Structure 1
Amino acid sequence: MSAKTIRGVAYVLGDNIDTDQILTAEYLKINPSSPEGYAQLASLAMCGLPEGSLPFIDPQTGKSPYSIVIGGQNFGCGSSREHAVVTLGAAGVRAVIAQSYARIFFRNCVSTGQLLPVVSNARLCDQVKTGDVVEIVVDEQVVRCESGVADAPIEPVGELANIVEAGGLFAYARAVGKIPAREAAEV
Protein backbone atom coordinates (compact mmCIF):
# COMPACT_ATOMS: atom_id res chain seq x y z
CA MET A 1 0.00 0.00 0.00
CA SER A 2 1.79 3.13 -1.18
CA ALA A 3 1.07 6.70 -0.18
CA LYS A 4 -0.51 7.13 -3.64
CA THR A 5 -3.43 4.85 -2.66
CA ILE A 6 -4.33 4.26 0.95
CA ARG A 7 -7.08 1.78 1.72
CA GLY A 8 -8.31 0.92 5.17
CA VAL A 9 -11.01 0.87 7.79
CA ALA A 10 -12.20 4.31 8.93
CA TYR A 11 -12.62 5.69 12.43
CA VAL A 12 -14.96 8.68 12.28
CA LEU A 13 -14.84 11.70 14.57
CA GLY A 14 -16.28 15.22 14.35
CA ASP A 15 -15.04 18.79 14.56
CA ASN A 16 -12.32 20.24 16.77
CA ILE A 17 -10.53 17.00 17.65
CA ASP A 18 -7.66 18.34 19.70
CA THR A 19 -4.28 16.92 20.58
CA ASP A 20 -5.45 16.22 24.16
CA GLN A 21 -8.02 13.81 22.75
CA ILE A 22 -5.39 12.13 20.60
CA LEU A 23 -2.87 11.87 23.46
CA THR A 24 -3.35 13.44 26.88
CA ALA A 25 -0.56 15.61 28.30
CA GLU A 26 0.40 13.12 31.02
CA TYR A 27 1.98 10.87 28.36
CA LEU A 28 4.21 13.49 26.75
CA LYS A 29 7.12 12.19 28.83
CA ILE A 30 7.19 8.97 26.76
CA ASN A 31 10.12 8.94 24.34
CA PRO A 32 8.88 7.92 20.88
CA SER A 33 12.39 7.32 19.55
CA SER A 34 12.82 4.10 21.51
CA PRO A 35 10.96 0.96 20.32
CA GLU A 36 9.37 0.61 23.76
CA GLY A 37 8.21 4.22 23.82
CA TYR A 38 6.85 4.00 20.29
CA ALA A 39 4.85 0.87 21.18
CA GLN A 40 3.58 2.48 24.37
CA LEU A 41 2.40 5.55 22.46
CA ALA A 42 0.61 3.28 19.96
CA SER A 43 -1.41 1.72 22.77
CA LEU A 44 -2.47 5.16 24.03
CA ALA A 45 -3.80 6.66 20.78
CA MET A 46 -7.10 8.51 21.25
CA CYS A 47 -6.92 7.96 25.02
CA GLY A 48 -8.47 11.39 25.60
CA LEU A 49 -11.70 10.77 23.71
CA PRO A 50 -14.82 11.14 25.84
CA GLU A 51 -15.94 8.19 27.92
CA GLY A 52 -18.28 5.97 25.94
CA SER A 53 -16.43 6.52 22.64
CA LEU A 54 -15.87 3.45 20.50
CA PRO A 55 -12.47 1.95 21.43
CA PHE A 56 -9.73 3.01 19.04
CA ILE A 57 -7.08 0.51 20.14
CA ASP A 58 -7.42 -3.27 20.05
CA PRO A 59 -6.29 -4.39 23.52
CA GLN A 60 -4.94 -7.67 22.11
CA THR A 61 -2.54 -6.03 19.65
CA GLY A 62 -1.97 -2.61 21.23
CA LYS A 63 -2.65 -1.11 17.78
CA SER A 64 -5.65 0.33 16.02
CA PRO A 65 -7.69 -1.64 13.50
CA TYR A 66 -8.43 1.74 11.87
CA SER A 67 -5.83 2.97 9.38
CA ILE A 68 -7.79 6.04 8.28
CA VAL A 69 -9.22 8.67 10.64
CA ILE A 70 -11.96 10.95 9.36
CA GLY A 71 -12.68 14.24 11.07
CA GLY A 72 -14.51 17.46 10.38
CA GLN A 73 -13.12 20.94 10.79
CA ASN A 74 -10.05 22.00 12.76
CA PHE A 75 -8.56 18.54 13.24
CA GLY A 76 -5.51 18.50 15.53
CA CYS A 77 -6.22 21.80 17.25
CA GLY A 78 -4.82 22.54 20.69
CA SER A 79 -1.21 22.12 21.71
CA SER A 80 1.59 21.86 19.18
CA ARG A 81 2.35 18.28 20.13
CA GLU A 82 4.37 16.25 17.69
CA HIS A 83 3.56 13.32 19.99
CA ALA A 84 -0.08 13.39 18.83
CA VAL A 85 0.89 12.71 15.22
CA VAL A 86 3.52 10.13 16.20
CA THR A 87 0.98 8.36 18.42
CA LEU A 88 -1.51 7.95 15.58
CA GLY A 89 1.23 6.71 13.25
CA ALA A 90 2.51 4.27 15.87
CA ALA A 91 -1.03 2.93 16.29
CA GLY A 92 -1.19 2.11 12.57
CA VAL A 93 -3.02 5.13 11.16
CA ARG A 94 -1.80 5.98 7.64
CA ALA A 95 -3.95 9.02 6.84
CA VAL A 96 -6.37 11.54 8.25
CA ILE A 97 -9.12 13.02 6.11
CA ALA A 98 -10.62 16.26 7.42
CA GLN A 99 -12.20 19.46 6.15
CA SER A 100 -9.48 21.54 7.80
CA TYR A 101 -6.52 21.13 10.13
CA ALA A 102 -4.77 23.09 12.80
CA ARG A 103 -1.70 24.38 10.98
CA ILE A 104 0.88 22.84 13.32
CA PHE A 105 -0.81 19.41 13.30
CA PHE A 106 -0.76 19.40 9.49
CA ARG A 107 2.89 20.42 9.49
CA ASN A 108 3.78 17.72 12.05
CA CYS A 109 2.15 15.09 9.81
CA VAL A 110 4.44 16.08 6.98
CA SER A 111 7.63 16.65 8.94
CA THR A 112 7.42 13.33 10.80
CA GLY A 113 6.15 11.33 7.83
CA GLN A 114 3.75 9.49 10.12
CA LEU A 115 0.43 10.40 8.45
CA LEU A 116 -0.84 11.77 5.19
CA PRO A 117 -3.12 14.74 5.93
CA VAL A 118 -5.86 14.85 3.29
CA VAL A 119 -8.30 17.74 2.90
CA SER A 120 -11.81 17.10 1.60
CA ASN A 121 -14.34 19.90 1.38
CA ALA A 122 -17.07 17.26 1.64
CA ARG A 123 -18.18 16.66 5.21
CA LEU A 124 -17.26 12.98 5.21
CA CYS A 125 -17.62 12.71 8.99
CA ASP A 126 -21.39 13.00 8.47
CA GLN A 127 -21.51 10.46 5.63
CA VAL A 128 -19.00 7.73 6.47
CA LYS A 129 -19.45 5.45 9.48
CA THR A 130 -16.75 3.98 11.70
CA GLY A 131 -15.88 0.59 10.27
CA ASP A 132 -16.49 1.55 6.63
CA VAL A 133 -13.71 0.65 4.21
CA VAL A 134 -12.34 3.80 2.61
CA GLU A 135 -9.82 4.31 -0.17
CA ILE A 136 -7.86 7.51 -0.78
CA VAL A 137 -6.63 7.67 -4.37
CA VAL A 138 -4.13 10.50 -4.34
CA ASP A 139 -3.48 10.64 -8.10
CA GLU A 140 -7.21 10.85 -8.85
CA GLN A 141 -7.81 13.30 -5.96
CA VAL A 142 -10.72 11.29 -4.62
CA VAL A 143 -11.94 9.37 -1.57
CA ARG A 144 -14.03 6.28 -2.24
CA CYS A 145 -16.13 4.44 0.31
CA GLU A 146 -17.31 0.86 -0.15
CA SER A 147 -20.53 1.55 1.76
CA GLY A 148 -22.02 3.46 -1.17
CA VAL A 149 -21.23 7.01 -0.09
CA ALA A 150 -20.57 9.09 -3.21
CA ASP A 151 -16.94 9.66 -4.17
CA ALA A 152 -15.61 12.81 -2.54
CA PRO A 153 -12.99 15.02 -4.16
CA ILE A 154 -9.89 15.89 -2.17
CA GLU A 155 -7.55 18.82 -2.52
CA PRO A 156 -4.34 18.09 -4.41
CA VAL A 157 -1.75 16.47 -2.16
CA GLY A 158 1.19 17.12 -4.46
CA GLU A 159 4.63 16.34 -3.12
CA LEU A 160 3.27 15.72 0.41
CA ALA A 161 2.50 12.10 -0.49
CA ASN A 162 6.13 11.55 -1.49
CA ILE A 163 7.41 13.23 1.68
CA VAL A 164 5.20 11.09 3.92
CA GLU A 165 6.03 7.94 1.93
CA ALA A 166 9.76 8.69 2.37
CA GLY A 167 9.32 8.95 6.15
CA GLY A 168 9.29 12.71 6.67
CA LEU A 169 11.04 15.86 5.54
CA PHE A 170 14.61 14.86 6.34
CA ALA A 171 14.28 11.37 4.84
CA TYR A 172 12.75 12.89 1.71
CA ALA A 173 15.48 15.53 1.44
CA ARG A 174 18.10 12.77 1.68
CA ALA A 175 16.28 10.64 -0.90
CA VAL A 176 16.17 13.45 -3.46
CA GLY A 177 19.73 14.62 -2.76
CA LYS A 178 18.89 17.93 -1.08
CA ILE A 179 20.96 16.95 1.96
CA PRO A 180 23.70 14.34 2.18
CA ALA A 181 22.72 10.80 3.08
CA ARG A 182 23.68 9.64 6.54
CA GLU A 183 26.87 7.65 6.65
CA ALA A 184 26.75 4.27 8.36
CA ALA A 185 28.10 4.47 11.87
CA GLU A 186 31.51 2.86 12.31
CA VAL A 187 31.65 0.04 14.83
Structure 2
Amino acid sequence: MKYQGKSHKFGSDVNTDYIISGKYKFKTLDMNELAKHVMEDLDPDFYNKVTPGDFIVAGTNFGCGSSREQAPLAIKHANISAVLAKSFARIFYRNAINTGLPVIECDTDLIDPGDVLDVDLTNGIIINRTKDIEITVKPLPQVMIKILTDGGLAAHFRKYGGFNLE
Protein backbone atom coordinates (compact mmCIF):
# COMPACT_ATOMS: atom_id res chain seq x y z
CA MET A 1 0.00 0.00 0.00
CA LYS A 2 1.54 3.24 -1.16
CA TYR A 3 0.31 6.80 -0.74
CA GLN A 4 1.56 10.25 -1.68
CA GLY A 5 0.40 13.61 -0.38
CA LYS A 6 1.29 16.62 1.69
CA SER A 7 1.44 16.82 5.46
CA HIS A 8 -0.91 18.72 7.74
CA LYS A 9 0.86 18.84 11.09
CA PHE A 10 -0.64 19.04 14.55
CA GLY A 11 0.81 18.65 18.04
CA SER A 12 0.43 16.05 20.74
CA ASP A 13 -2.69 14.93 22.61
CA VAL A 14 -5.09 15.61 19.75
CA ASN A 15 -8.27 14.18 21.21
CA THR A 16 -11.28 12.85 19.34
CA ASP A 17 -13.26 16.01 20.07
CA TYR A 18 -10.59 18.00 18.21
CA ILE A 19 -10.78 15.50 15.37
CA ILE A 20 -14.56 15.85 15.13
CA SER A 21 -16.34 18.06 17.63
CA GLY A 22 -19.15 16.58 19.69
CA LYS A 23 -21.46 19.30 18.44
CA TYR A 24 -21.45 17.49 15.07
CA LYS A 25 -21.12 13.84 16.12
CA PHE A 26 -24.62 13.68 17.50
CA LYS A 27 -26.39 15.58 14.71
CA THR A 28 -25.67 13.28 11.78
CA LEU A 29 -24.25 9.92 10.81
CA ASP A 30 -23.42 11.20 7.31
CA MET A 31 -19.64 10.78 7.19
CA ASN A 32 -19.29 13.12 4.20
CA GLU A 33 -20.96 15.86 6.24
CA LEU A 34 -18.83 15.12 9.32
CA ALA A 35 -15.69 15.17 7.15
CA LYS A 36 -16.28 18.88 6.46
CA HIS A 37 -15.66 19.55 10.16
CA VAL A 38 -12.58 17.38 10.76
CA MET A 39 -9.91 19.22 12.78
CA GLU A 40 -11.83 22.51 12.55
CA ASP A 41 -11.31 23.36 16.23
CA LEU A 42 -7.54 23.29 15.63
CA ASP A 43 -7.62 24.65 12.05
CA PRO A 44 -10.97 26.12 10.93
CA ASP A 45 -9.96 25.91 7.25
CA PHE A 46 -8.52 22.37 7.41
CA TYR A 47 -11.10 20.70 5.16
CA ASN A 48 -10.53 23.27 2.40
CA LYS A 49 -6.74 22.80 2.56
CA VAL A 50 -6.83 19.03 2.08
CA THR A 51 -6.06 17.50 -1.29
CA PRO A 52 -7.11 13.85 -1.66
CA GLY A 53 -4.26 11.64 -0.43
CA ASP A 54 -2.85 14.09 2.13
CA PHE A 55 -1.69 13.07 5.61
CA ILE A 56 -2.39 14.18 9.13
CA VAL A 57 0.91 14.26 11.03
CA ALA A 58 0.98 14.59 14.82
CA GLY A 59 2.99 14.14 17.98
CA THR A 60 2.15 11.70 20.75
CA ASN A 61 -1.17 10.27 21.92
CA PHE A 62 -3.16 11.07 18.77
CA GLY A 63 -6.84 10.17 19.09
CA CYS A 64 -7.13 10.17 22.87
CA GLY A 65 -10.65 10.56 24.22
CA SER A 66 -13.78 8.66 23.33
CA SER A 67 -14.00 5.23 21.80
CA ARG A 68 -16.44 6.24 19.06
CA GLU A 69 -15.53 5.26 15.52
CA GLN A 70 -16.69 8.61 14.05
CA ALA A 71 -13.24 10.17 14.48
CA PRO A 72 -11.25 7.83 12.19
CA LEU A 73 -14.20 7.51 9.80
CA ALA A 74 -14.51 11.29 9.48
CA ILE A 75 -10.76 11.57 8.82
CA LYS A 76 -11.01 8.90 6.12
CA HIS A 77 -13.97 10.68 4.50
CA ALA A 78 -12.01 13.97 4.55
CA ASN A 79 -9.71 12.40 1.89
CA ILE A 80 -6.82 11.84 4.30
CA SER A 81 -4.88 8.75 3.21
CA ALA A 82 -3.20 8.04 6.58
CA VAL A 83 -2.36 9.47 9.98
CA LEU A 84 1.30 9.53 11.03
CA ALA A 85 2.08 10.11 14.71
CA LYS A 86 4.67 9.30 17.34
CA SER A 87 1.99 7.34 19.22
CA PHE A 88 -1.75 6.76 19.19
CA ALA A 89 -4.39 6.17 21.81
CA ARG A 90 -4.93 2.41 21.57
CA ILE A 91 -8.70 2.53 21.04
CA PHE A 92 -8.30 5.10 18.25
CA TYR A 93 -5.56 2.96 16.66
CA ARG A 94 -7.77 -0.15 16.54
CA ASN A 95 -10.82 1.82 15.40
CA ALA A 96 -8.73 3.33 12.59
CA ILE A 97 -7.57 -0.07 11.33
CA ASN A 98 -11.08 -1.49 11.73
CA THR A 99 -12.55 1.34 9.64
CA GLY A 100 -9.83 1.16 6.99
CA LEU A 101 -7.79 4.25 7.94
CA PRO A 102 -4.03 3.58 7.92
CA VAL A 103 -2.21 4.75 11.06
CA ILE A 104 1.57 4.75 11.26
CA GLU A 105 3.75 5.22 14.32
CA CYS A 106 6.96 7.04 13.42
CA ASP A 107 9.23 9.92 14.33
CA THR A 108 7.32 12.93 13.04
CA ASP A 109 9.99 15.48 14.04
CA LEU A 110 11.43 15.30 10.51
CA ILE A 111 8.10 16.27 8.92
CA ASP A 112 6.93 19.87 8.64
CA PRO A 113 3.58 21.25 7.50
CA GLY A 114 3.26 21.05 3.73
CA ASP A 115 6.06 18.51 3.22
CA VAL A 116 5.33 16.09 0.38
CA LEU A 117 5.50 12.50 1.58
CA ASP A 118 5.57 9.07 -0.04
CA VAL A 119 4.35 6.42 2.39
CA ASP A 120 4.89 2.71 1.73
CA LEU A 121 2.97 0.81 4.40
CA THR A 122 4.04 -2.64 3.27
CA ASN A 123 7.76 -1.92 3.51
CA GLY A 124 7.57 0.56 6.38
CA ILE A 125 9.19 3.49 4.60
CA ILE A 126 8.27 7.16 4.49
CA ILE A 127 10.14 9.38 2.05
CA ASN A 128 9.96 13.07 2.76
CA ARG A 129 10.29 14.39 -0.82
CA THR A 130 10.52 18.00 0.36
CA LYS A 131 13.60 17.29 2.52
CA ASP A 132 14.92 14.31 0.54
CA ILE A 133 15.09 12.07 3.62
CA GLU A 134 13.84 8.59 4.44
CA ILE A 135 12.05 7.71 7.66
CA THR A 136 11.95 4.01 8.49
CA VAL A 137 8.99 2.68 10.42
CA LYS A 138 8.06 -0.77 11.60
CA PRO A 139 5.87 -2.30 8.87
CA LEU A 140 2.32 -3.13 9.86
CA PRO A 141 1.55 -6.82 10.39
CA GLN A 142 0.30 -8.53 7.23
CA VAL A 143 -3.17 -9.09 8.68
CA MET A 144 -3.54 -5.33 9.27
CA ILE A 145 -2.40 -4.59 5.72
CA LYS A 146 -5.00 -7.07 4.48
CA ILE A 147 -7.74 -5.47 6.61
CA LEU A 148 -6.78 -2.00 5.33
CA THR A 149 -6.60 -3.21 1.72
CA ASP A 150 -10.08 -4.71 2.07
CA GLY A 151 -11.46 -1.38 3.33
CA GLY A 152 -11.72 -2.20 7.02
CA LEU A 153 -12.63 -5.07 9.30
CA ALA A 154 -16.31 -5.38 8.29
CA ALA A 155 -15.37 -5.48 4.59
CA HIS A 156 -12.63 -8.02 5.36
CA PHE A 157 -15.12 -10.27 7.19
CA ARG A 158 -17.64 -9.98 4.35
CA LYS A 159 -14.93 -10.93 1.85
CA TYR A 160 -13.53 -13.93 3.77
CA GLY A 161 -16.25 -14.89 6.24
CA GLY A 162 -13.85 -14.19 9.12
CA PHE A 163 -10.17 -13.43 9.57
CA ASN A 164 -7.98 -14.44 6.66
CA LEU A 165 -4.42 -14.69 7.92
CA GLU A 166 -2.93 -16.05 4.70
What's the TM-score once normalised by structure 1's chain length? 0.79
1:127 and 1:149 in contact (8 A); partners too: no
Aligned length: 161
Q: What residue number does 1:92 align with?
A: 79
Q: What residue number does 2:50 align with?
A: 64
* Deviation of 1:103 (Å): 0.7
Question: Is 1:9 aligned with 2:6?
Answer: yes
Hey, what's the Cα distance between the residues in 2 that align with 1:23 and 1:178? 31
* Deviation of 1:106 (Å): 0.5
More strand by share: 2
Percent identity between the two aligned chains:
30
* Deviation of 1:149 (Å): 5.0
Paired residue secondary structure (1:157) = coil
Paired residue secondary structure (1:161) = helix
Q: What residue number does 1:73 align with?
A: 60
What's the TM-score once normalised by structure 2's chain length? 0.88
**Aligned counterpart for 2:148 among listed residues 135, 160, 164:** 164
Question: Counterpart of 2:2 in structure 1: which amino acid?
Answer: T
* Deviation of 1:140 (Å): 2.1
Q: What residue number does 1:182 align with?
A: none
* Deviation of 1:54 (Å): 7.1
1:10-159 equivalences under 5 Å are: 10-32=7-29, 37-49=30-42, 53=43, 55-58=45-48, 64-65=50-51, 67-113=54-100, 115-120=101-106, 122=107, 124=108, 126-158=109-141, 159=143
Hey, what's the Cα distance between the residues in 2 that align with 1:129 and 1:141? 19
Paired residue secondary structure (1:57) = helix
Paired residue secondary structure (2:47) = coil
Cα RMSD after superposing both structures: 1.9
Paired residue secondary structure (1:173) = helix
Question: Counterpart of 2:102 in structure 1: which amino acid?
Answer: L
2:117 and 2:128 in contact (8 A); partners too: yes
Q: Which 4+ residue blocks in structure 1 deviate beyond 4 angstroms?
A: none
Q: What residue number does 1:183 align with?
A: none
Hey, what's the Cα distance between the residues in 1 that align with 2:38 and 2:6? 16
* Deviation of 1:29 (Å): 1.5
Hey, what's the Cα distance between the residues in 2 that align with 1:173 and 1:22? 27
Greater Rg, structure 1 or structure 2?
A: 1
Hey, what's the Cα distance between the residues in 1 that align with 2:44 and 2:136? 27
Paired residue secondary structure (1:89) = helix
